[in-house]
Amino acid sequence: MTSAASALAVAAPFCYSTSATICTDDEPMALETYGQPQQLPPPQPQPNKTAALRLFRPFTASRSIMPSLSGTTTRSASGDKLFSAKSSLPNPWSFSFYEEDRNEDPLSRGQSRATMATSMYTVATRAQRNTHHLDLYRSAVRSLTLRKIKEKAVNEPLVQIGRYATKVNKLDLYICDYLSNEVLFGFAAHGTLTYLSLAGCNRITDEAILYVAHHCRNLEHLDLRACGLISDKSISAIAMHCPQLRHLNVGRVRDRERITIKSIGLIAQHTQVAVLGLAGCDITDECLITLAMYRNNGLERISVNSCYRITNKSIRAYVEYCPRLSVFEMKECHQINDWNAVADLVQRKVLLTLCDQQNRACAEWAKRMGRVIHVKAPLK
């Protein structure tokens, strides 16, 4: 297994925290820990137990020290079985302890079989205790973030983590090129996700998002930027099953025809959406006006960059219906030329994103009208 996949495979059992981060492939794979969950007993570092000592700062994951999350058999360097558990494994410092115990077999020092039995019982007792601790570790993880993982082997360990990390509510997977639908099934099945970002994971399809819609009814944040295979089918399901949704981004640079008023109209009617990214989608005036009328005071930010079909009707609707709007991104929307409406938004301190051509046209209009317009773009 590659270094990134190994890091993912071992991450979840050792999250002595509520958050785990796997770094980009330009940096060492690391697990970051931030604090202790309640009811979790503090570790007892032992001499020469490097894994225990490294648990509270970022460390490079290694299978030679830390067993994987899935319920497999732990073996020594020589390949002999040391410990086996049905659905869990010992924590890292206990794993080292077992291996050292085996290397110091009581029989090899001439001790009695009774002493050996006592030693085996002690090991079994510790294993049972560590199984309980592992369950606590798994239930303590609340957030998992991956950035730019380029390895094909990313899916198998993530599937295992998703199966056992039952309380994850934030899953942020950014530009993981080979991420598949199967990864989402495990995380979504627990029904705990409220924040899901898959920006740039372009292999994700409607099947996965439909599954999320039916299992994660409390979803509030969904980022599907550059997920070109996502269509109205799954976004409509999100609209009907996730009424608490406040943030949705389905912006794209291709496959624009897949996102239309069919799903965005339902989002407007059935969710609490306040932030909406529609850049590059097949959006019309009818769609944007529907959104403005249904969400009115609730709409705060919207991006329609490169939505070529929208006209002045849309921007006038947002001037009229959306008094709390703070950001309107309309770059490359060249059918919009009502600069008086744009000036009204600027006066209300709405941040606007315009392309160079639009900026020039707006400046020329302001000069002719004897007005001064300072268009400010939102911070990225």
H/E element, 115 = helix 113-140
Low-confidence ranges of the chain (pLDDT < 50): 1-20, 22-111, 113, 116
Does residue 257 form part of some domain? yes
Measured CA angle at 300 (ends 295, 306), to 5 deg: 95
Does residue 255 form part of some domain? yes
Non-local CB neighbours of 320 within 8 Å, separated by 6+ positions: 292
pLDDT of residue 118: 56
The tally of domains found in the chain comes to 2
Residues 127 and 177 both lie in one domain: no
Q: Strand 81-84 vs strand 73-75: parallel, antiparallel, or unpaired?
A: antiparallel
**β-sheet bridge partners, residue 73:** 84
pLDDT of residue 304: 97
C-alpha–C-alpha distance, residues 93 and 50, integer Å = 8
Measured CA angle at 128 (ends 122, 129), to 5 deg: 90
Residues 57 and 79 both lie in one domain: yes
In a 13 Å sphere around the CA of 13, the CA atoms on its Cβ side amount to: 31
pLDDT of residue 369: 93
Are 181 and 201 in contact by the 8 Å Cβ rule? The answer is no
Quote the domain boundaries for residue 70. 36-139
pLDDT of residue 88: 32
Residues 215 and 258 both lie in one domain: yes
Residues 191 and 284 both lie in one domain: yes
Non-local CB neighbours of 269 within 8 Å, separated by 6+ positions: 239, 290, 294
Are 350 and 327 in contact by the 8 Å Cβ rule? The answer is yes
- DSSP 8-state assignment for residue 85: -
Does residue 375 form part of some domain? no
pLDDT digits (tens, 9 = 90+) for 223-241: 999 999 999 999 999 999 9
**Could you say which of 139, 156, 184 is where a domain stops?**
139
Residues 166 and 132 both lie in one domain: no
